[in-house]
Amino acid sequence: MSVFDLSHMPLRDLNAALHQVPEGANDTSFTVDNPRGHHAVAVGIDRPVSVEVNGSVGYYCAGMNDGGTVTVHGSAGPGVAENMMSGTVVIEGDASQYAGATGHGGLLVIKGNAASRCGISMKGIDIVVCGNIGHMSAFMGQSGHLVVLGDAGDALGDSLYEAKLFVRGAVKSLGADCIEKDMRPEHREKLAELLERAGVTDVKPEEFRRYGSARKLYNFNIDNADAY
């Protein structure tokens, strides 16, 4: 295991080491001590390494993650797991705004609360928030899943495409073209899988409501595909 203490080691050395792990290496575990709110911690990971961050981080932690497992034992600033492609990012505390923005894949778990615009423009990422989320979350969400065990703020799912939203608590308001939808068996099955992957064992899929797009804002109608 490699240990990087950011109280006296450059952040650049940590990120460079994460990018230089050779294929098939046995030592793929990293510990980061004293992150002290540094920005861009563990960004651009493109291999199956494991990173434990002991403390809170600034913006864009684990951005562009592709295959790594990053756990932050603290809170995260704006844009955590932004544009994530695959892998897992776990925030033990709270996350600031636009967590998981534009994420294409992988799993983001936030054990605390997430601020505004959580999952904005999500493109396949799965996000599980154990607390509450702020306003404009999942704005223009294209695909993937957003699971919220707590409450959601104003304008949830505004201008939503095909991302699926599951909220256990209250929703302050729905955004344009976002409506509540039926929870069918396949949705409960998928939700149960997401909760299990996130390590959430004390709630049931039946306690959630599902929200999705009413498809009234689309310029392209799939029923008219032959006409294009």
Residue ranges covered by each domain of the chain? 2-214
**Predicted pLDDT of residue 219:** 67
Are 161 and 152 a contacting pair, CB within 8 Å? no
Per-residue model confidence (pLDDT) at position 227: 58
Between CA 30 and CA 36 the distance in angstroms is 17
Name the pLDDT band for 200 (thresholds 50, 70, 90). Answer: very high
Nearest to 70 by CA among 23, 21, 110: 110
Are 31 and 15 a contacting pair, CB within 8 Å? no
Read off the pLDDT of each residue in 44-71 and give the average, rounded to a whole number: 97
pLDDT > 80? residue 89: yes
Residue 225 falls in which region: left (phi positive, over 0), alpha (psi -120 to 50) or beta: alpha
Tally of helices (H runs) and strands (E runs) in the chain: 2, 11
3-state secondary structure of 222: helix
Of the candidate CATH numbers 2.160.20.60, 3.90.180.10, 3.40.1050.10, 3.10.20.90, the domain formed by 2-214 belongs to: 2.160.20.60
pLDDT beyond 50 at 228: no
- Give the pLDDT band (50/70/90) at residue 224: low
pLDDT, tens only, 19-48 = 999 887 888 999 999 999 999 999 999 999
Neighbours of 25 (CB within 10 A): 11
Percent of the chain scoring above 70 in pLDDT:
95
Residue 226, SS3 per DSSP: helix
pLDDT band at 1 (very low <50, low <70, confident <90, very high): confident
Up-side HSE of residue 131: CA atoms within 13 Å toward CB? 17
Distance (Å, rounded) from C-alpha 72 to C-alpha 77?
11
Looking at every residue in the chain, the average pLDDT score rounds to 95
Radius of gyration of the chain from Cα atoms? 18
Whole-angstrom distance, CA of residue 141 vs CA of residue 179:
14
Residue 122's alpha-carbon distances to 118, 157, 160, 163, 206, in angstroms, are 9, 11, 10, 7, 25
